[in-house]
Chains A and B, each alone.
Chain A
Amino acid sequence: MSSEGADVAAEVVDVQGDRRWMDLHEQFVKDSKNKEPDVLFIGDSLIARLQQSIVWSELFEPLHCLNFGIGSDTTQNVLWRLENGEIEDIKPKVVVLLIGTNNHAHTAEAVAKGIQAISLYIRSKQPTAHLLVLAIPPRGKNDNPLRAKMKKINQLLAEAIPTIPKAEYFDPKIEFIQADGSLDRSDFCDFLHFTSKGYRKYCKPLADRLSQLLVVED
């Protein structure tokens, strides 16, 4: 694993041949010109799949949200997307960022640096928007090195993000790890991705925080 490079923007190269990532990015750029979101979600599959869950229409649709999540994205990919038009023309009141679990090539310190770089970029591009950086949820059925890594990244974020003006490290503080150390499949269907039940637990505190922030902005 490298201790460098998670903060360097990089696009996803289309090795499979269907151009999905770039097409999605281009759609997001278009959406950023035409839509009127109060809240922008950006990140990896944990963000992308939220929109397919019933929790999206329950908790987030009424808040006028846009979802720019793409599965398998790393910090470099999100940085590239942001630098290439995805937050050019919109003026959301809040940006929600969840990224880092796919940065397998980087140490926890490097990933935290990457997330910081993204946060600074968002704040510079959207001076009036509040930024929420979400805690990365645990993964894997039982304890494993990635659990420790995500915990370490979260600790580093908890220290670093509050130093950025109008940015907030947000941990829903849901204890997903059970007494025997395992994750429940009814929360994480494949021990990585949330089920609707898992999303509801994770997102309810988030939706409450968003409602607070949106009222204040009014």
Chain B
Amino acid sequence: MQPTNINLLYLTYSRQNTGAIFHLQYVPVGVYVGAAFQLVPEDPTLERNYKGHRDTVTSVDFNPNMKQLASGGMDSCLMVWNFKAQMRAFRFVGHKDAVLAVHFSPSGHLVASASRDKTVRLWIPSVKGESTVFKAHTATVRSVQFSSDGQHLLTCSDDKTLKVWTVHRQKFQFSLSQHMNWVRCAKWSPDGRLIVSGSDDKTIKLWDRNSKECIHTFFEHGGFVHSVAFHPSGTCIAAAGTDSTVKVWDIRMNKLLQHYQAHSGAVNSLSFHPSGNYLITASNDATLKILDLLEGRLFYTLHGHQGPATAVNFSRNGEHFASGGADEQVLVWKTNFDKIDYNEVLQSHKARSQVQPAPHIHDIHPRSPMYRQAVRPLGSEVNTHTEPRDMTNKTPTVTNLGPALFSQHRNGGSESSVGASLHGLDITSGDIEQGIYTLRELQGERQLPYP
């Protein structure tokens, strides 16, 4: 019997009559070898669908320990989702306005959140829900990121500046002030010596973190720059924004290397796979796209969000990625395609391309059940593993936590409620080199960080 290759992966949604639950069905891709249907594990698969945000999700980040995922939203909350089944999710309450960015520290012991309320909060993502807060800018804080040694924080804001802070005691170090409009995104280079920033002034700036100078400006004439990132090698940067294109520049030669016009709406977020071979993007056109940087072409289009996809991020080891959207959902996917030997992937893609009929082999697209049945070969044996997996979201129990209960408000405001639990802390003792802090060490003795 001739082996026939079929590759179809799709997600269907059905809204039950209550209107409250998204019911995802997943049919994995497979290959017939002889009479047996085997999985070809290289297409991304949806693993989780978290519901809990009450407004657009703005940012997602995996804990390096791979046990948690953080997400921020326009509902002003930070959510921390635990991957262990049955474990409850945490909703951290404290910010007074939308949370626009979240980032785990390299040790995984802290989460930083940036907000429209002009503050940055550092949370210990546990059931105790402690955090410390500092007023970082005079306007909305758009982005926050720990340096890879966990010692410093980089923030940027609608006040047109970028700022660097110590994590310990959140001491202001310096600011970078050459942008002429909102700075939407700022990132450290992998070695921490450079910073890249993207702004509504339609430029991307590269800064030397030691000399504090802007060493190069890339002009993005098409529109506002929403998201920037360094390639894991540190030799390139990627940027994307309102003109819906994605660009990759070599920063050694200051040269545009790649230019993708894959999306049909503004691109909100992008993330490099740790191998450096792929870039994933999230767009207002409701799709996530995976770009193959070695081949310079679109690799996958993922339809999972209803409405704008606003956030996307690979896990530190690249085996998963997470996305968030205006539909309030947080989706966690298994990458899969990074596991295969690249030549094998090319071989199997060639084989796919010889199969009738279309759809486009790289499109993963919701299809009606009718269509799906038409494509399945007749008389096939179907492995029980290929039955649709029940992906009904069992919304984890959510615990509300926040500084109103536990910690002091630190920006000179009049709120200060100290919970009794601050004194009986049962946390690993401060080992600052490893980035493990107690809340008290984080706070130390502080003045307002403002120059």
A38-85: which have CB < 8 Å to B?
Answer: 62, 64
Q: Is the CB of A62 within 8 A of B138?
A: no
**Inter-chain contacts of A34 with B (CB < 8 A):** 56, 308, 326
Neighbour of A218 across the interface among B139, B180, B200, B201, CB < 8 A: B139
Q: Is the CB of A62 within 8 A of B181?
A: yes
Q: Give the distance to chain A from B353, nearest Cβ to Cβ, in Å.
A: 38
- Chain B interface residue count, Cβ-Cβ cutoff 8 angstroms: 11
**Inter-chain contacts of A62 with B (CB < 8 A):** 180-181, 200-201
- The answer for the CA separation of A192 and B326 in the assembled complex, in Å, is 41
**Inter-chain contacts of B56 with A (CB < 8 A):** 34
Q: Is the CB of B326 within 8 A of A218?
A: no
- The answer for the CA separation of A218 and B181 in the assembled complex, in Å, is 13
**Inter-chain contacts of A218 with B (CB < 8 A):** 138-139, 159
**Inter-chain contacts of B182 with A (CB < 8 A):** 64
**Inter-chain contacts of B201 with A (CB < 8 A):** 62
User: Chain B 10-54, CB within 8 Å of chain A: the 1/0 string?
Assistant: 000000000000000000000000000000000000000000000
B166-196: which have CB < 8 Å to A?
Answer: 180-182
- The answer for the CA separation of A218 and B56 in the assembled complex, in Å, is 26
- The answer for the CA separation of A42 and B180 in the assembled complex, in Å, is 26
Q: Is the CB of B139 within 8 A of A64?
A: no
- The answer for the CA separation of A64 and B182 in the assembled complex, in Å, is 10
- The answer for the CA separation of A5 and B180 in the assembled complex, in Å, is 45
Q: Give the distance to chain B from A176, nearest Cβ to Cβ, in Å.
A: 31
**Inter-chain contacts of A64 with B (CB < 8 A):** 182, 200
- The answer for the CA separation of A95 and B73 in the assembled complex, in Å, is 27
- The answer for the CA separation of A50 and B197 in the assembled complex, in Å, is 30
**Inter-chain contacts of B181 with A (CB < 8 A):** 62
- Which among B180, B181, B308 has the greatest number of chain A C-beta atoms within 10 A? B181
Q: Give the distance to chain B from A88, nearest Cβ to Cβ, in Å.
A: 15
- The answer for the CA separation of A218 and B326 in the assembled complex, in Å, is 28
- The answer for the CA separation of A85 and B139 in the assembled complex, in Å, is 27
User: Chain B 143-184, CB within 8 Å of chain A: the 1/0 string?
Assistant: 000000000000000010000000000000000000011100
**Inter-chain contacts of B326 with A (CB < 8 A):** 34
- The answer for the CA separation of A62 and B201 in the assembled complex, in Å, is 7
Q: Give the distance to chain B from A201, nearest Cβ to Cβ, in Å.
A: 24
- The answer for the CA separation of A62 and B160 in the assembled complex, in Å, is 12
Q: Give the distance to chain B from A83, nearest Cβ to Cβ, in Å.
A: 25
For B201, the closest partner residue in chain A by CB is: A62
For B140, the closest partner residue in chain A by CB is: A36
- The answer for the CA separation of A62 and B159 in the assembled complex, in Å, is 13
Q: Give the distance to chain B from A215, nearest Cβ to Cβ, in Å.
A: 12
B190-216: which have CB < 8 Å to A?
Answer: 200-201
- The answer for the CA separation of A64 and B200 in the assembled complex, in Å, is 9
Q: Give the distance to chain B from A30, nearest Cβ to Cβ, in Å.
A: 10
- The answer for the CA separation of A74 and B85 in the assembled complex, in Å, is 59
Q: Give the distance to chain B from A192, nearest Cβ to Cβ, in Å.
A: 30
- The answer for the CA separation of A218 and B180 in the assembled complex, in Å, is 15
**Inter-chain contacts of B138 with A (CB < 8 A):** 218
- The answer for the CA separation of A34 and B284 in the assembled complex, in Å, is 11
User: Chain B 312-337, CB within 8 Å of chain A: the 1/0 string?
Assistant: 00000000000000100000000000
- The answer for the CA separation of A64 and B326 in the assembled complex, in Å, is 20
**Inter-chain contacts of B139 with A (CB < 8 A):** 218
- The answer for the CA separation of A64 and B181 in the assembled complex, in Å, is 10
For B308, the closest partner residue in chain A by CB is: A34
Q: Give the distance to chain B from A50, nearest Cβ to Cβ, in Å.
A: 18
**Inter-chain contacts of B180 with A (CB < 8 A):** 62
B321-359: which have CB < 8 Å to A?
Answer: 326
Q: Give the distance to chain B from A90, nearest Cβ to Cβ, in Å.
A: 13
- A-B contacts, 12 of them at CB < 8 A, read A34-B56, A34-B308, A34-B326, A62-B180, A62-B181, A62-B200, A62-B201, A64-B182, A64-B200, A218-B138, A218-B139, A218-B159
Q: List B residues at the A interface (Cβ < 8 Å).
A: 56, 138-139, 159, 180-182, 200-201, 308, 326
The 9 closest A-B pairs by CB, nearest first: A62-B181, A62-B201, A62-B200, A218-B139, A34-B326, A64-B200, A218-B138, A62-B180, A64-B182
Supplied contacts A62-B201, A218-B138, A218-B139, 9 more A-B pairs, CB within 8 Å: A34-B56, A34-B308, A34-B326, A62-B180, A62-B181, A62-B200, A64-B182, A64-B200, A218-B159
